[in-house]
A and B are shown apart, each in its own frame.
Chain A
Amino acid sequence: MSQNLNIASIRNDFPILNEVVNGKQLVYFDNAATTQKPRLVLDALAGYYEHYNANIHRGIHHLAEKATSAFEQSRKRLQAFLNAAHSEEIIFTYGTTDGINLVASSYGRKFLKEGDEVIISTMEHHSNIVPWQMLCEEKGCILKVIPINDEGELLMDEYEKLLSEKTKFVSVVHVSNALGTINPIKEIIAKAHAVGAKVLIDGAQASSHIEIDVQDLDCDFYSLSLHKIYGPTGMGILYGKRDLLNAMPPYRGGGEMIKEVTFAKTTYNELPYKFEAGTPNIADVVAAKFALDYVDALGKPNIAAYENELLAYATEAVKEIEGLRIIGQAKEKVSVLSFVIDGIHHQDIGVLLDQQGIAVRTGHHCTQPLMNRFNITGTSRASFAVYNTTEEIDKLVQGLHKVKRMLG
Chain B
Amino acid sequence: MTINETQDELISDFELFDDWESKYEFIIDLGKQFPPLEEQYKTEDNIIKGCQSRVWLNAYMDGGLLKFEADSDAIIVRGLVSMLVKVLSGHTPEEIAKSEVYFMEKVGLHQHLAQTRSNGLAAMLKQMKAYGFAYQAKSVNA
The residues of A with any CB-CB pair to B shorter than 8 Å are 22, 345-348, 350-352, 355, 362-364, 377-378, 402, 406-407
Contact = CB atoms under 8 A, between A and B. Distances in A.
17 contacts: A345-B74, A345-B75, A347-B52, A347-B53, A347-B74, A348-B74, A348-B75, A348-B76, A350-B52, A350-B118, A351-B24, A352-B76, A363-B52, A364-B51, A406-B21, A406-B24, A407-B75
Given A345-B74, A352-B76, A407-B28, 8 more contacts: A347-B52, A347-B76, A347-B77, A347-B118, A350-B118, A352-B24, A406-B25, A407-B75
Contacts of B53: 345, 347
Contacts of A364: 51-52
A402 B21 CA distance: 9
A351 B20 contact: no
A20 B116 CA distance: 21
Nearest to A345: B74
Interface string B71-115: 001111100000000000000000000000000000000000000
A301 to B, nearest CB: 36
Interface of B: 20-21, 24-25, 28, 51-54, 73-77, 118-119
- Listed from nearest, the 6 A-B pairs whose CB atoms lie closest are A345-B74, A347-B74, A363-B52, A347-B52, A347-B53, A355-B20
A interface SS class: helix
B20 A22 contact: yes
B14 to A, nearest CB: 15
A363 B77 CA distance: 14
B51 A351 contact: no
Nearest to B21: A406
Contacts of A407: 28, 75
A363 B75 CA distance: 15
Contact of A345 (B21, B25, B73): B73
Contacts of A355: 20-21, 24
Contact of B76 (A351, A377, A378): A351
A280 B52 CA distance: 34
A26 to B, nearest CB: 15
Contacts of A347: 52-53, 74, 76-77, 118-119
A364 B28 CA distance: 23
Contacts of B75: 345, 348, 407
A351 to B, nearest CB: 5
Contacts of A378: 52
A322 to B, nearest CB: 18
A407 B54 CA distance: 18
B52 A346 contact: yes
A55 B67 CA distance: 58
Contacts of B77: 347
A64 to B, nearest CB: 39
A181 to B, nearest CB: 23
Contacts of B24: 351-352, 355, 406
